[in-house]
Amino acid sequence: MSDTRIIAEAYFNSLEARDWATLTDLLAAGVVYEMPQTRERITGRDKFLRFNQEYPGDWHLIVHRLVVEGRRAAAWVDARVGEEHQDACIWLDIDESGQVFRVVDFWPETYEPPAGREHLVERH
């Protein structure tokens, strides 16, 4: 198993476990967290930890798929709050010392499909 996979799994496991000590060790001091959908950016380990600690709701993360290559990882995460479920696509960059220095999160929301392709699709 690659170091990148181990680090990426530990990243999600420590979030899920609210294991802030382990998460701290996994993050570079200058980690940058980006959410392109809202154009929000958080810079630095302290603020990023606080963001996660303060994030509302009893959220849980299940890694549905993890693809790693070199020092990059892409995760498809199944996030749950109670009965609610949302997929997330998360892109991690890991530095030479094995710390996560960039996280980019996408949180796609459900929507109704546009008309005009009913002849091709089925809904499930």
Query: Which residues contact a second copy (rule: CB under 8 A)?
Result: 35-43, 47, 50-51, 54, 56, 65, 67-69, 72-74, 76, 87, 89, 91, 104, 106-113, 116-117, 120-124
The conformation of residue 98, written as its DSSP 8-state character, comes to S
Tell me if 76 sits within 8 A of 65, measured CB to CB: yes
Give 50 or 60: the residue with its C-beta nearer to a second copy: 50
CB of 124 to a second copy, least distance (A): 5
Give 83 or 117: the residue with its C-beta nearer to a second copy: 117
Long-range contact list for 106-115, CB < 8 A, 24+ apart? Answer: 106/35, 106/36, 106/37, 107/35, 107/37, 107/79
Give 54 or 84: the residue with its C-beta nearer to a second copy: 54
3-state secondary structure of 89: strand
CB of 117 to a second copy, least distance (A): 6
CB of 35 to a second copy, least distance (A): 8
CB of 87 to a second copy, least distance (A): 6
